[in-house]
Amino acid sequence: MFITFEGIDCCGKSTQVRLLAEQLEQSGREVLRLREPGNTRLSEHIREILLDKEFSEMNERTELLLFAASRAQLVGEVILPALDHDKVVICDRFYDSTVAYQGYGRQLPLEDITHINRIATQDLVPDMTFFIDITPELAFERCKDRLAADRDRMEESGVRFYERVINGYKSLAQQDGGRFYVIDGSKSPTDVHMTIWRLVMEKLPLLSSYVGGDGLVMNRSLEAMEVDTVGL
Ligand code: TMP
């Protein structure tokens, strides 16, 4: 099972990745938590280049190809082998980020991006994608301390850019209703997590029970879940 999270910077998706991973682990699943770009030796180097604001001269096409290069390495080295071993892979961003940021945000041709994404992913498509939807204003409000202290190269882009990125995600949702879920990110982290957990349960109904150490199958109720809301 391959689950991805999408959204603009500071939408709270890292918290949601962590909450879902913990919940799935408690349900007896082996989970691999990843974030893009990164997670392999090569991809981490590419991440540093991509986010370094010293590279203000970076061409939009260079940026596109570096994201794709990082993803190609991650898919081949980590994601496909993990899925082969029946792990649940949860990735903080995947190719929809490239469509939204480089396609809609930077306005590069969408057909080129689709083609490059297919090369990078070997046609791997997530089973479920959660787009955490918040306004740029709320994102900036939530992250104002971090942004004031140390904006990275992407975060320098401004509100207009983020509005285009959000529009991109919304058109992806319209085209791809089967796997793409739009989640209201203005709600509390616990509420957002509950919504996501219910949707995952619909896809993986067997996970609502898990086998305990004594071999008994125990039911977990959503209400009994302890959700840590720190660290949005
Ligand atoms: P992060 O802040 O979620 O770690 O993501 C790093 C930045 O990179 C974020 O501003 C989104 C951006 N990004 C793209 O522009 N295109 C992509 O394909 C990916 C994966 C991220």
Range of weakest confidence among 11-15, 118-122, 218-222: 218-222
Is residue 9 within 6 Å of ligand 1 at its C-beta? Answer: yes
> Which of ligand 1's atoms lies nearest the C-alpha of 106?
15
- Ligand 1 binding pocket includes 98 (Cβ within 6 Å): yes
- Which of 12-21, 118-127, 156-165, 209-218 is the least confident region? 209-218
Position 4 pLDDT exceeds 90: yes
Tell me the mean pLDDT in the region 196-211.
73
Give the list of residues 6+ apart from residue 51 with CB closer than 8 angstroms, or none.
Answer: 152, 153, 154
* Positive/negative CA dihedral, 51, 52, 54, 60: negative
- Residue 178: band (very low, low, confident or very high) from pLDDT cuts 50, 70, 90: confident
Q: Is the CB of 168 under 6 A from ligand 1?
A: no
Neighbouring C-beta atoms of residue 217, cutoff 10 Å: 10
> Which ligand 1 atom minimizes the distance to the CA of 95?
18
Token pair listed for 15: 């918290």
- pLDDT for res 60: 96
pLDDT in tens, 29-40: 999 999 999 999
Q: What is the mean pLDDT of residues 143-172?
A: 80
**Residue 40: burial class (beta carbons within 10 Å; 0-12, 13-18, 19+):** middle
Give the pLDDT of residue 141.
Answer: 86
Nearest CA to 83 among 38, 120, 34, 46? 34
What average pLDDT is seen over the chain? 87
- How confident is the model at residue 176, as a pLDDT? 79
Q: How far is the CA of 44 from the centre of ligand 1 (A)?
A: 13
The pLDDT, as a whole number, for residue 149 is: 66
pLDDT of residue 144: 78
Going 46 to 52 to 55 to 58, the CA torsion angle's sign is: positive
Q: What is the DSSP letter of 215?
A: S
Check residue 143 and give its pLDDT: 83
Name the percent of the chain lying above pLDDT 90. Answer: 74
| Residue 67 Cβ < 6 Å to ligand 1 | yes
Ligand 1 atom at minimum distance from 68 CA: 18
Confidence check: pLDDT of 229 > 90: no
36 CB under 6 A from ligand 1? yes
Burial category of 195 from C-beta neighbours within 10 Å (exposed 0-12, middle 13-18, buried 19 and up): middle
- Location of structure tokens 């994102």: 139
Catalogue all structural domains in the chain, each as residue range(s) with its CATH number: 2-214 (3.40.50.300)
For the stretch 59-84, pLDDT in tens is 999 999 999 999 999 999 999 999 99
Q: What is the DSSP string of 33-99?
A: EEESS-SSHHHHHHHHHHH-TT-TT--HHHHHHHHHHHHHHHIIIIIHHHHHTTPEEEEES-HHHHI
Mean pLDDT of all residues in 7-16: 94
